[in-house]
Structure 1
């Protein structure tokens, strides 16, 4: 079942500015954090040194502000990244609440990164870091709709075929004849949220589902 959102509801469910959950996800892996720290430190030190040498000129305050901005990159970098990711769904002209069931549960191994490291004999070997992902096939009374994929955790083990699931579906077409994207998803029977990234303001989505779905029954 698809229930189209009313004007403005999509923007209320997916904020333009990063939430706390979105910020935490966008911070990323330790390697990404280290990269941001290096950019912040190098960029901040260089621009602050330039500002010291330019304090007597009109460009001194500009370089000082630029140095502070660089030093705060560790904080504003994930915020900007989350905002850009939110915008990928906020831009769609058509969005609807989907209520259906899990048609199938699939697990797959994905290679997250590769790197070379020396073995006990000093020879370089390729090492792959793998992670198990869960893919949920979604369907309703009209048939197959698509899939939601996310890194698997222990809390996801209770998910079974037939589990009730709700999410947002997004499309370039008002009639939803082609589904272009999915948000994170809510399994109310398990009280469990799943998804690679927390697009939705989750309490607001749960409340909207309760209101709109109850009115349809």
Structure 2
């Protein structure tokens, strides 16, 4: 079942500015976190060194000082920028609807999240893969298959079973939803459990909207 939502409801459900859970989600990747630390430290230190090397009467000295502070704060505004970019990918769709269906099928899959070269005891380089188990949910309703939702497997996800009710926001370029462009994170009301790779939705607002629109 698909229940269309208005543009104002969509803007409320997927904010343009990062929420707390979204900020946290954008800081989970160790490689991205390390990159942000390096950019903040290198950019900040270089900017401050340049500002100190300039004459105190130079009009560029205060500018370089501000740039240095901005670089040091990259650890804060970097995740905010990343979350805003992710949110924008869903907010750009012209139409959206609440989906209520069921978990038609579920299965686990090993996903390679990272590859790196590492020296073994003999000094030879070997490829090391960081693998993680992901859970894939096939979503469907009375009209048939809708799409798939994938996310890293955790212990709490072992409770999920076929046939359980699932609610999510679906987005499309077409008003008849003949082609689904994206699916948000999803709510399993029987387990009171949210699932998804990234928390796109303002979850309390979505739960409240579902209570009003799915009576």
TM-score by length of 1: 0.96
1:14-39 Cα deviation digits (max 9, x unpaired): 01110010000101323322221111
CA distance in 1 between partners of 2:148 and 2:140 (Å): 9
Residue in structure 2 matched with residue 172 of structure 1 by the alignment = 173
SS state at 1:177 partner: coil
Provide structure 1 residue ranges, at least 5 long, that are not aligned to the other structure. Answer: none
Residue in structure 2 matched with residue 37 of structure 1 by the alignment = 37
Moved more, 151-160 or 121-130: 121-130
CA distance in 2 between partners of 1:7 and 1:109 (Å): 37
CA distance in 2 between partners of 1:92 and 1:29 (Å): 27
Moved more, 27-36 or 8-17: 27-36
Moved more, 57-66 or 18-27: 57-66
CA distance in 2 between partners of 1:33 and 1:169 (Å): 30
SS state at 1:112 partner: strand
Moved more, 2-11 or 28-37: 28-37
Q: Shift of residue 187 of structure 1?
A: 0.2
Provide structure 2 residue ranges, at least 5 long, that are not aligned to the other structure. Answer: none
Q: State whether residues 50 and 64 of structure 2, in contact with CA within 8 Å, keep that contact through their aligned partners in structure 1.
A: yes
Aligned ranges 1:1-217 → 2 under 5 Å: 1-54=1-54, 55-214=56-215
TM-score by length of 2: 0.97
SS state at 2:214 partner: helix
Q: State whether residues 166 and 187 of structure 2, in contact with CA within 8 Å, keep that contact through their aligned partners in structure 1.
A: yes
CA distance in 2 between partners of 1:185 and 1:144 (Å): 16
Q: Shift of residue 121 of structure 1?
A: 2.6
CA distance in 1 between partners of 2:150 and 2:36 (Å): 27
1:119-146 Cα deviation digits (max 9, x unpaired): 2332222111101111100000111111
CA distance in 2 between partners of 1:205 and 1:53 (Å): 53
1:66-105 Cα deviation digits (max 9, x unpaired): 0100011111100000000000001100000000000000
